[in-house]
Amino acid sequence: MASTLRRTTSVIGVAALAAVGLAACGGSSDNSGNNASGVDTTDYSDWCSMKDQLNGKTVTLYTSIVTPEDKPHKDSYKPFEECTGITVKYEGDKDFEKNLPQRAQSGNLPDVAYVPQPGLLQTMVETGKAMPSPESVSKNVDEFFGKDWRAYGSVDDQLYAAPLGANVKSYVWYSPKQFKAKGYKVPETWDDLKKLTAQIAADDANAKPWCAGFASGTATGWPGTDWLEDLMLRTAGPEVYDQWVKHEIPFNDPQVATALDEVGSILKDPKYVNGGFGNVRTIATTTFQDGGQPILKNKCYMHRQASFYAANWPEGTKVAENGDVWAFYLPGDGQSKPVLGGGEFVMSFRDAPEVNAFLTYLSSKEWANEKAKVTSGGWVSANKGLEIKNLKSPIDQQSAEILQDPNSVFRFDGSDMMPSAVGAGSEWTEITNWINGQDTKKTLDNIEKSWPTS
Amino acid sequence: MPALAPTVSAADAASKFGTMFLGLAVFAAVFIGILLIASLFRGKYAEKAQAVAFAGPAILFIALGLLYPAILTIQRSFYSGKFFDLNAGLGNAKAKFVGFDNFQKLWTTPGLPEVFLNTLWWVLLVPSLATGFGLLYAVLVDKAKGEAVAKALIFLPMAISMVGATLIWKFVYYFNGEPGGVQIGLLNAMLTGVGINPHDFLGAFPWNTFFLIVIMIWIQAGFAMTVLSAAIKAIPDDIIEAARLDGVSGIQLFRYVTLPSIRSSLIVVLTTIAIATLKAFDIVQASSGGTLHDSVLANEFYRRSFVTQEPGLGAAIAIVIFLLVTPIIVFNVIQMRKDQA
């Protein structure tokens, strides 16, 4: 009798466990709004002391970062793997953005994914398979990142992903040597920048002040959308920028037209572009990788592109304030300091101690500094615990300074937050049409028309 | 130190192979079982049972692998939402029935109407010109000296993937817009060599579409040549001899003997290339991604489905492609029936 009873209880126990397991698997789909109760509240901040629980476990990681940038990432996990006994299985895929939503539908999700766009992050939350961040990750984000970064990793005020890396897009690349030889100074305001542009055009008949390249396969046009976003931040301000990104003002609002015309005053003026490549139309067919190269041949003076463009200079080019190339902050009114940028976020699709310990590690200052030490250049994070001296390249150090500057007003790349039909669709193609001669009004009207109704 | 490729442990690989062989063994056992059962039938049912045993699995797999997805695609085209799976998603991302909205978007979405026009040019020009060149070449090299080498040369592009071919042609078309700049592209180097201004072949709308079409013709002409050359060789020598005895000229021989004899092969080649053209997205994808007014339906299907997360619109485009291919296939089948009769 007693033994039968015991067996019954244990059967019930197993069934209950199974039910909990099932609930944990499908849980987030039902109550994504109020997940507070389902969140893992274990403190993982001292992951090294938890080896007895974590040893021998595996965490699968899926990212868009491929060779050669994946190496420093893998290296940065080593201290964590050694002291916890966890194995991180890394998978890089160039078509990550297209494949991740498909994998969610076929039930083949990784434990952890580095998502480079808040828009895709929201889509993944909408699949109902994303895990809200465990408490120790949430604490790290509060401690090491600004409120704006927390907001980009959240959906409906629930944090789903801690920020990982970052990049600064508000840069103008130039040759310090060339500027010095001609006696040009780095401009402090947008108006000064335009005056400098006119002066260069008048001074040098063999070169153009600016060069640009929009071509990038299916994503052709994205460097143009970055231009527009940077000018939106400067002509309309961060608040209007936010409304524009959330579609609280229409895409063809007069303020957007002002910003785009301001871009056009440089990129559509044949006197000012396209140094080293030809006329305005060559911008659409020049790849973004090639876009700034004429600076090295003194065919072009300035190229607006993100910090990651540092990787595109040929080997042996000295990227430094007194080197071959360097980048200055794209100025605004001289007072406020809006910064356009991007970055990746760490999403989780499995609620398990080893996964949550890894998430905690990635959101910590320990990881940010470890990553800085094993990377030769081309990486930076908005993590405030990152010590700038640990970064190896001068441009990364400057980016980290800008990101950590309390006067900076950071805004995430708008096209990465808009619905894909716009941010990865009509905005790219219409800006490409615009540079090929289509007028501002038709361009903005067409993008507004494509904004999804639901 | 070079980055090492991820290594698969031996045990892992062994277990994967084990699973694979087990799967094959089960498949073989089931198949043999079905045939054994079919062989048990005697009398008037025997033939039917055997027909089912042989054709059944094939029909089943076609239904699972072709019909079922086709039905899902048709269903998908009537729904909104971000995901292919109609049941996936929460809130606004979840699919809702929207009737013919996705089909309406085919002409209201800026940029899509011109895609139809581009596709029309592709379908008109590629099959006719590729077949024309292939036929001309096949006739010219037939029984000529060095025929094998000549044929291999024109057939080679068929062995290159479309992406590879596009990359090769991108170098041929390469354009340096800087006044007086060095043209490293073959065509522009030739143009500037004889004093003509270089042309932006892949950038300048509307002609860029036609320069992409040239790539597809270059690939497909080899296929047309091979099939048509075989058909020409299959014409019985006595017919040609009889025609010669009747005193026909070379052109007459081609018009009244060769052409009618290879008619069925010609139709197969034309329709095959037409279908391949409607489905080809690689060339556009690998050149500009369809961003310079040069997109085609197959590329738009991919872009709307996977890049811009509008699977409903993507499905609608897929159905349009299907509807455009159908008459070509029907025509093909009717012609084959005629030839058999």
Report the DSSP pairing between strands A300-304 and A171-174: antiparallel
CA distance B314 to B320: 10
Domain membership flag for residue B5: no
Beta-carbon-side half-sphere exposure of residue A73 (alpha carbons within 13 Å): 23
Tell me whether A219 touches chain B (CB under 8 Å). yes
Which residue of chain A has the CA closest to B87? Answer: A105
Q: Are B198 and A278 in contact (CB under 8 A)?
A: no
CA B116 to chain centre: 17
The CATH number for B191's domain is 1.10.3720.10
When pLDDT is averaged across residues B40-53 and rounded to a whole number, the result is 79
Average pLDDT of the residues in A40-57: 90
Same domain, B263 and B312: yes
Residue A23 pLDDT exceeds 60 = no
Q: Is B291 part of a structural domain of the chain?
A: yes
Which among B90, B111, B290 is the nearest to A29, CB-wise?
A: B90
pLDDT at B50 over 50: yes
Phi, psi of A57 (to 5 degrees): -80, 160
Can you tell me the mean pLDDT for B136-149?
88
CA distance B327 to chain A (A): 31
* Average per-residue pLDDT for chain A: 89
- The predicted pLDDT at position B51 comes to 83
Side chain identity at residue B9, one-letter code? S
Tell which A residues from 286 to 305 touch B, by Cβ distance under 8 Å: 299
Residue A235: CB atoms within 10 A of its CB come to 20
pLDDT of residue B180: 78
Can you tell me the distance from the alpha carbon of A107 to that of B138, in angstroms, rounded to the nearest whole number? 52
Q: Which of A105, A220, A420 sits opposite B84 (nearest CB)?
A: A105
Does the structure show a pLDDT above 50 at A121? Answer: yes
Binary contact (A126, B288; C-beta < 8 A) = no
Tell me how crowded residue B35 is: count the other CB atoms within 10 A of its CB: 12
DSSP-derived 3-state class of residue A409? strand
Per-residue pLDDT tens digits for A251-292: 999 999 999 999 999 999 999 999 999 999 999 999 999 999
Residue B291: closest CA among chain A residues belongs to which residue? A429
The pLDDT of residue B341: 65
Are B65 and B176 found together in one domain?
no
**Tokens encoding B6:** 């991820």
Q: Looking at beta carbons, which pairs linking A261-264 to residues 24 or more positions away fall under 8 Å?
A: A261/A440, A262/A231, A262/A234, A262/A235, A263/A224, A263/A227, A263/A228, A263/A231, A264/A434, A264/A440
A173-177, A318-322, A335-339, B54-58: least confidently modelled range? B54-58
Does residue B82 form part of some domain?
no
pLDDT band (50, 70, 90) for residue A180: very high
HEC letters along chain B = CCCCCCCCCHHHHHHHHHHHHHHHHHHHHHHHHHHHHHHHCCHHHHHHHHHHHHHHHHHHHHHHHHHHHHHHHHHHCCECCCCCCCCCCCHHHCCCECCCHHHHHHHHCCCHHHHHHHHHHHHHHHHHHHHHHHHHHHHHHCCCCCHHHHHHHHHHHHHCCHHHHHHHHHHHHCCCCCCCCCCCCHHHHHHHHCCCCCCCCCCCCCCHHHHHHHHHHHHHHHHHHHHHHHHHHCCCHHHHHHHHHCCCCHHHHHHHHHHHHCHHHHHHHHHHHHHHHHHCCHHHHHHCCCCCCCCCHHHHHHHHHHHCCCHHHHHHHHHHHHHHHHHHHHHHHHHHHHHHC
As a whole number of angstroms, the longest Cα–Cα distance in chain B is 86
Please, which residues have CB within 8 angstroms of residue A45's CB and are 6 or more apart in sequence?
Answer: A136, A139, A140, A360, A364
β-pair partners for A135: none
How confident is the model over A3-25, as a mean pLDDT? Answer: 41
Which member of A104, A128, A421 has the closest CB to residue B309? A421
| Count of structural domains within chain B | 2
Interface test with A, best of B82, B183, B202, B303 (most A CBs within 10 A): B82
pLDDT at B107 exceeding the cut of 50: yes
* Interface check A421 vs B, CB under 8 A: yes
Per DSSP bridges, beta strands A158-159 and A326-329 are: unpaired
Which of A14-18, B65-69, B150-154, B191-195 has the weakest average pLDDT? A14-18
Q: Which residues of A touch B92 (CB under 8 A)?
A: 126, 454
| Closest CA relative to residue A388, chosen from A412, A402, A364 | A402
Q: Can you give the pLDDT at residue A26?
A: 37
Same structural domain, B177 and B230: yes
Q: Give the one of A98, A126, A221 whose C-beta lies nearest to B91's C-beta.
A: A126
A window 144-163, beta carbon within 8 A of B: none
- Report yes or no: A108 at the B interface, CB cutoff 8 Å: no
- The CATH code belonging to domain A173-329+419-449 is 3.40.190.10
Q: What is the pLDDT of residue A454?
A: 58
**CA-nearest residue of chain B to A122?**
B93
CB pairs under 8 A between A and B: 127
Residue A22 pLDDT > 90, yes or no? no
Check if A104 contacts B (Cβ < 8 Å).
yes
Identify the domain containing residue B302 by its residue range.
107-340
Residue A127 to residue B90, Cβ atoms within 8 A: yes
Contacts of A214 (CB under 8 A, 6+ apart): A220, A221, A222, A223, A224, A283, A284, A286, A288, A291, A431, A432, A435
Q: In chain A, positions 423-442, which contact chain B (CB-CB < 8 Å)?
A: 424-426, 428-430, 432-433, 436
Cβ–Cβ of B175/A218 closer than 8 Å? no
Residue B331, exposed/middle/buried by CB under 10 A (0-12, 13-18, 19+)? middle
Which sequence spans correspond to the domains of chain A? 44-168+341-409, 173-329+419-449
| B164 and B243 inside one domain | yes
pLDDT at A24: 38
Residue B90 domain flag:
no
Is residue B127 domain-shared with residue B270, that is, in the same domain? yes
B94 occurs within a structural domain: no
Indicate the burial class of A37 (C-beta count within 10 angstroms; 0-12, 13-18, 19 or more): exposed
- Cβ atoms of B180 and B299 within 8 Å: the answer is no
CA distance to partner chain A, nearest, from residue B262 (Å):
42
Strand-strand pairing, A112-115 and A337-348: antiparallel
Q: Using a CB-CB distance cutoff of 8 angstroms, which residues of chain A are in contact with residue B176?
A: 277-278
User: How many CB atoms neighbour CB A253 within 10 A?
Assistant: 17
Instruction: State the virtual CA torsion across A424, A426, A432, A435 in degrees, nearest 10.
Output: -130
Question: What average pLDDT does this structure show over B295-299?
Answer: 94
pLDDT at B93: 81
Domain identity same for B164 and B235: yes
Cβ atoms A305, A230 nearer than 8 A: no
Q: How many H helices and E strands in chain A?
A: 20, 12
A277 touches chain B (CB under 8 A): yes
Residue of A nearest to B86 (CA): A105
Report whether the peptide linkage leading into residue A274 is cis, meaning its omega lies within 30 degrees of zero.
yes
- Which chain A residues are within 8 Å of B178, Cβ to Cβ? 276-278, 299
Q: In this structure, is residue B113 part of a structural domain?
A: yes
Q: Chain A, 64-93: which have a CB under 8 Å from a chain B CB? A: 67-68, 70-71, 90
Q: Which residue of A has its CA nearest to B203?
A: A285
Residues of B with CB below 8 A from A125's CB? 90
> Does A44-168+341-409 match A173-329+419-449 in CATH topology?
yes
Cβ contact, residue pair A278, B6, below 8 Å = no
Amino acid, res. B325 = V
pLDDT tens per residue across span A193-221: 999 999 999 999 999 999 999 998 888 99
* Average pLDDT of chain B, as a whole number: 88
Residue A413 has pLDDT above 80, yes or no: yes
- Which of A195, A196, A193 lies closest to A171, judged by CA? A193
Which option is the CATH number for A44-168+341-409: 3.40.190.10, 3.40.605.10, 3.60.21.10, 3.30.930.10?
3.40.190.10
* Nearest residue of A to residue B102, measured between CA atoms: A452
Measured CA to CA in angstroms, residue B322 lies from A61, A377, B74, B151, B314 at distances of: 38, 49, 11, 34, 12
How much is the pTM? Answer: 0.83
C-alpha B159/C-alpha A31 separation (Å) is 54
Nearest to B109 among A281, A419, A450 (CB): A450
Q: Which residue of A has its CA nearest to B176?
A: A277
Alpha helices in A331-413 (DSSP H): 353-362, 365-374, 394-404
H or E element, residue A165: strand A162-168
Q: Encode pLDDT of A223-257 as tens digits.
A: 999 999 999 999 999 999 999 999 999 999 999 99
The answer to whether A70 contacts B3, with C-beta atoms less than 8 Å apart, is: yes
Burial of B160 (0-12, 13-18, 19+ CB in 10 A): middle
Which of B92, B179, B306 is facing A278, going by the closest CB pair? Answer: B179
pLDDT of A404 over the 70 cut: yes
Checking if the pLDDT of B27 tops 50, the result is yes
CA distance A122 to B311: 17
B203 vs A274: CB contact, 8 Å cut-off?
no
Long-range contacts (CB closer than 8 Å, 24 or more residues apart) made by B247-252: none
Q: Which of A136, A129, A109 is nearest to A40 (CA)?
A: A136
Confidence bin at B31 (pLDDT 50/70/90): confident
The Cα–Cα gap between A438 and A430 comes to 8
A9 pLDDT band (50/70/90 cuts)? Answer: very low
Cβ–Cβ below 8 Å for A101 and B309: yes
Res B9: pLDDT: 60
Query: Dihedral (C-alpha) B188, B190, B196, B202: value to the nearest 10 degrees?
Result: -20
Distance, in Å, from the CA atom of B72 to the CA atom of B76, rounded to the nearest integer, reads 6
- Contact yes or no for B199/B191 (Cβ under 8 A): yes
**CB distance B82–A123 less than 8 Å?**
yes
pLDDT tens readout for residues A130-155: 999 999 999 999 999 999 999 999 99
Give the residue from chain B lying closest to A91, CA to CA. Answer: B6
SS3 call for A201: helix
Q: CA A113 to CA A347: how far, in whole Å? A: 5
* Nearest-neighbour CA in chain A from B94: distance (Å): 8
A98: which chain B residues are within 8 Å (Cβ-Cβ)?
A: 306-307
Q: Which residue of A105, A298, A300, A429 to mutate against B (max B Cβ within 10 Å)? A: A429
Cα distance from A259 to chain B (closest Cα, Å)? 22
Residue A208 backbone class (left: φ over 0; alpha: ψ -120 to 50; beta: rest): beta
Residue A36 has pLDDT above 90, yes or no: no
| Whether residue A2 has pLDDT greater than 80 | no
Answer whether residue B188 is part of any domain.
Answer: yes
Determine whether the interchain pair A278/B202 forms a contact, defined as Cβ–Cβ distance below 8 Å: no
Q: CA A158 to CA A348: how far, in whole Å?
A: 14
Across residues A63-87, what is the average pLDDT? 93
